[in-house]
Amino acid sequence: MRKFKTESKKLLDLMINSIYTNREIFLRELISNASDAVDKLNFKGLTDSSVQVDQDSLAIRLSVDPEARTLTVSDNGIGMTADELERNLGTIAHSGSQEFKSENAEHQGNTLDIIGQFGVGFYSAFMVAKKVRVVSRAFGEDVAHVWESDGLEGYTISEGERETHGTDVILTLRDNLPGEQGEPGESFETYLTEWGLKDLVRRYSNYVRYPIQMLVTKSRPKPEPAKDDEQPSSSQTTDAQGDSSAEHGTASASDSEGKADASDVAHAADASSHAPEYEEYEELETLNSMTPIWKKRSSEVEDEEYAEFYKSTFHDWEAPARTISFHAEGTLEYDALLFIPGKAPFDLYSREYEKGLALYSSNVMIMEKCADLLPDHFNFVRGIVDSADVSLNISRETLQQDRQLRAIASRIEKKIGSELAEMRDKDREAYETFFENFGRGLKFGIYSSYGMKASELADLLLFWSARENRMVTLDEYARSMPAGQTAIYFAAGDDRTRLSKMPVVRSVLSRGYDVLLCTADVDEFTLQAMRVYEAKGLPKVFEDETARAAAETAVADGAEPELEDRSIEFKNVASGDIDLASEDEKKTAEEATRAHKDLFQAMKEALDGKVERVSVSARLVDAPAAITTEGPVSLEMEKVMARGPE
Ligand code: ADP
Ligand code: MG
């Protein structure tokens, strides 16, 4: 007996003991593992000429034995060696395992979270099974191995037999649980029934690319014995209607058992013949639709189906905030299905987070996370790109040089941008939630590109408006600027309430100018990197009185108002160089400073080198004094810089 690794053990205990309501996802997990294994073999066959794979035979098979209470998920994929059984099933394979270990204490009571966040994969089998037996033969090996465990302490690995490469995962289902105090108990019988399994496959695994097959029992009219004077008629070769397995080139395993019950038959086929007898027979049926969901037009797919696909493929608990499906035709053809998650994954801002889209070439997965398909600032997007034009043999190194891939990536970037813009304009509430989750990445995109990305991303940003008390776009800010305002004012700090009380903020607001309150550490860096906001199509400002009067008359006469683009500078209200005071106000302040020179000198000395200068300000509204900085670097930014990079 080999023991499970500690973290695996903890997760297993949770799995087994939780009364998790969504146990049924175990089948999805096992099927997805089977599909991955078939994928790996398929890929090998397509890229390695020494490996022969019969594409049409690739399949996943479900079978049940109600007497023994077993459910088996089989695949003819790549299989596992004894070493791989040990490595893959003895420890949690998920990247989340480390986090799981450290956060385990907090999560103890909340299984739902763990399952939702990490996806529990293979171990989910123990939610419904008291024993799991895995018989696997790796492709290219002669012997098979058996991994077996009751999920409690450990597992055993021994030699076994299997006719061909592939894996059988055999679950012995748990005993039914009695209900407590009138509550309904829990029965695992569903997972032994045809309808139960069909239902689960359709709900969770419909788009798996390989046929998920099961022998199902059907009935049909028994062929009548042929009469001597008749040619063998078509009625003798009656075949099941809608034999879906035939479409996939798989042999139909119909063998009659002749258990027809004549009393079921209430009608006669025609007046001259006897009522036909019915017989039961078994047939291999494909339960899933198999057409990849990304190949379908979005009009043909229900939101619900997209959501289910997203959740099961990307192990998310929540439905996506937005689904983007598009199909490029022409010189470069591909299908793309992208999702904007409903909330940020727990590790999004950690170093471990890997961005990327799954890359397929004609239904074969080439890479699970192709990073080159997504710019960093859209790293939260999940999805799939399928293009027959991408070579199967493409390697990580050549990806960046691949022109087609670069063309796809650039189109994807534009598409995500335009979808986000649409969301911002048509569903502001959802967009604000989106921005709360992922806005930091967008800002960072501008900052880390030294402002180069501002033309695409600036309009996707939201900031808190001190005047409006809500999130505004820069465009909204610019449009609400009163005549005479020439800059976009912002204040940066940790706390919005505190910022809104800053004397300088109040001073700017008192002049009718809005102030953006920036509380994210990246905000100020982003605005610095942008330097200006390129506002588009603002009502034209006329310096000249006569010109303005003429324009107003023209508009009154029905002409379109003249518009102009304007570069508007960002200004930190806390930096010394903002200058809103009138000449008169400034003069008064300067005079006062001179008149009280000695007092200010004394104050400076009392502050003992902590300040550069003390003077009268023309900027204060209702506060007696304010500390400001000189130059473009604000106090807040100095603080962030002193903290060092994260
Ligand atoms: P994940 O699928 O996220 O890697 P799982 O816990 O579901 O995590 O599976 C762990 C590992 O076990 C897989 O990565 C794979 O290497 C291996 N595995 C599981 N099922 C099969 C299978 N049917 N055939 C081959 N390998 C498998
Ligand atoms: Mg898995």
Give residue 249 CA to ligand 1 midpoint distance, Å.
27
Distance between CA atoms of 117 and 640, rounded to whole angstroms? 31
Distance between CA atoms of 294 and 279, rounded to whole angstroms? 40
Task: Specify the range with the lowest mean pLDDT, choosing from 307-316, 385-394, 456-465.
Answer: 385-394
Give residue 208 CA to ligand 2 midpoint distance, Å.
13
Alpha helices (H) along 452-574? 454-457, 474-479, 496-501, 503-510, 523-530, 545-556
Number of the ligand closest to the Cα of 74: 1
Q: What is residue 366's predicted lDDT score, i.e. its pLDDT?
A: 77
Predicted complex ipTM? 0.99
Stretch (H or E) spanning 471: strand 470-472
Q: What is residue 183's predicted lDDT score, i.e. its pLDDT?
A: 73
Q: What is residue 254's predicted lDDT score, i.e. its pLDDT?
A: 41
Q: What is the mean pLDDT of residues 295-316?
A: 90
**Residue-wise pLDDT tens digits, 37-53:** 998 999 898 888 898 99
Q: Does pLDDT of 590 surpass 80? A: yes
Query: Residue 80 is encoded by which pair of tokens?
Result: 């596992």
CB of 34 within 6 A of ligand 1: the answer is: yes
Stretch (H or E) spanning 135: strand 129-137
Give residue 350 CA to ligand 1 midpoint distance, Å.
25
The helix/strand/coil state of 2 is: strand
Q: Is 56 left (phi over 0), alpha (psi -120 to 50) or beta?
A: alpha
CB of 80 within 6 A of ligand 1: the answer is: yes
In which band, very low, low, confident or very high, does the pLDDT at 136 lie, cut at 50, 70 and 90?
Answer: very high
Report the Cα–Cα distance between both ends of the chain, in Å, rounded: 45
Decide if 408 contacts 334 (C-beta within 8 A).
yes
Nearest to 563 by CA among 543, 541, 539, 542: 539
Give residue 380 CA to ligand 1 midpoint distance, Å.
25
In which band, very low, low, confident or very high, does the pLDDT at 397 lie, cut at 50, 70 and 90?
Answer: low
Give residue 209 CA to ligand 2 midpoint distance, Å.
15
Give residue 168 CA to ligand 2 midpoint distance, Å.
15
Give residue 430 CA to ligand 1 midpoint distance, Å.
36
Decide if 279 contacts 258 (C-beta within 8 A).
yes
Q: What is the mean pLDDT of residues 440-468?
A: 94
HSE on the CB side for 334, CA within 13 Å? 24
CB of 33 within 6 A of ligand 1: the answer is: yes
Distance between CA atoms of 361 and 367, rounded to whole angstroms? 10
Query: Residue 570 is encoded by which pair of tokens?
Result: 């960002």
Which amino acid makes up residue 592? A
Q: What is residue 393's predicted lDDT score, i.e. its pLDDT?
A: 65
Distance between CA atoms of 354 and 356, rounded to whole angstroms? 7
DSSP state of 237: G
Cα-based angle 24, 25, 29 (whole degrees, multiple of 5): 135
- CB neighbours of 351 closer than 8 A, spacing ≥ 6? none
pTM: 0.67
Cα-based angle 124, 125, 130 (whole degrees, multiple of 5): 125
Distance between CA atoms of 18 and 191, rounded to whole angstroms? 19
| More confident: 123 or 465 | 465
Residue 30 CB: number of other CB atoms within 10 A?
A: 25
Nearest to 462 by CA among 485, 438, 445, 486: 438
The helix/strand/coil state of 342 is: coil
- DSSP code per residue over 559-605: PPPPEEEEEEEEEETTBTT---S-HHHHHHHHHHHHHTHHHHHHHHH
Q: Does pLDDT of 263 surpass 70? A: no
- CB neighbours of 528 closer than 8 A, spacing ≥ 6? 447, 570, 632, 637
Residue 266 CB: number of other CB atoms within 10 A?
A: 6
Q: Does pLDDT of 369 surpass 70? A: yes
In which band, very low, low, confident or very high, does the pLDDT at 299 lie, cut at 50, 70 and 90?
Answer: very high
The helix/strand/coil state of 167 is: strand
| More confident: 196 or 361 | 196
Q: What is residue 570's predicted lDDT score, i.e. its pLDDT?
A: 95
Distance between CA atoms of 82 and 342, rounded to whole angstroms? 40
Q: Does pLDDT of 74 surpass 70? A: yes
Query: Residue 513 is encoded by which pair of tokens?
Result: 């100018």
Q: Does pLDDT of 104 surpass 70? A: no
CB of 41 within 6 A of ligand 1: the answer is: no
Which amino acid makes up residue 455? S
Give residue 121 CA to ligand 2 midpoint distance, Å.
4
Closest ligand 1 atom, residue 121 Cα? 7
For 149, phi and psi rounded to 5 degrees? -160, 150
Q: Does pLDDT of 577 surpass 80? A: no
Task: Specify the range with the lowest mean pLDDT, choosing from 69-78, 155-164, 217-226, 240-249.
Answer: 240-249
Query: Residue 46 is encoded by which pair of tokens?
Result: 């397509």
CB of 37 within 6 A of ligand 1: the answer is: yes
Give residue 88 CA to ligand 1 midpoint distance, Å.
6
- The preferred substitution site among 35, 39, 88, 118 for testing ligand 1, maximizing ligand atoms within 8 Å of CB, is 88
Residue reference for tokens 């049940």: 64
In which band, very low, low, confident or very high, does the pLDDT at 564 lie, cut at 50, 70 and 90?
Answer: very high
Cα-based angle 467, 615, 596 (whole degrees, multiple of 5): 135
Percentage, residues of the chain above pLDDT 70: 81
Supply the residue whose CA is at minimum distance from atom 12 of ligand 1. Answer: 88
- The preferred substitution site among 40, 83, 122, 316 for testing ligand 1, maximizing ligand atoms within 8 Å of CB, is 122
CB of 88 within 6 A of ligand 1: the answer is: yes
Task: Specify the range with the lowest mean pLDDT, choosing from 172-176, 315-319, 573-577.
Answer: 573-577
Residue reference for tokens 């450990």: 154
Q: What is residue 120's predicted lDDT score, i.e. its pLDDT?
A: 65
Number of the ligand closest to the Cα of 145: 1
Number of the ligand closest to the Cα of 83: 1
Q: Does pLDDT of 185 surpass 50? A: yes
Distance between CA atoms of 562 and 422, rounded to whole angstroms? 26
**Residue-wise pLDDT tens digits, 522-534:** 999 999 999 999 9
| Burial degree of 495 (CB within 10 A; 0-12, 13-18, 19+) | exposed
- The preferred substitution site among 8, 33, 44 for testing ligand 1, maximizing ligand atoms within 8 Å of CB, is 33
Q: What is residue 633's predicted lDDT score, i.e. its pLDDT?
A: 66
CA separation, residue 14 to residues 19, 23, 64, 185 (Å): 9, 12, 26, 20
Closest ligand 1 atom, residue 29 Cα? 7
CB of 93 within 6 A of ligand 1: the answer is: yes
Give residue 529 CA to ligand 1 midpoint distance, Å.
45
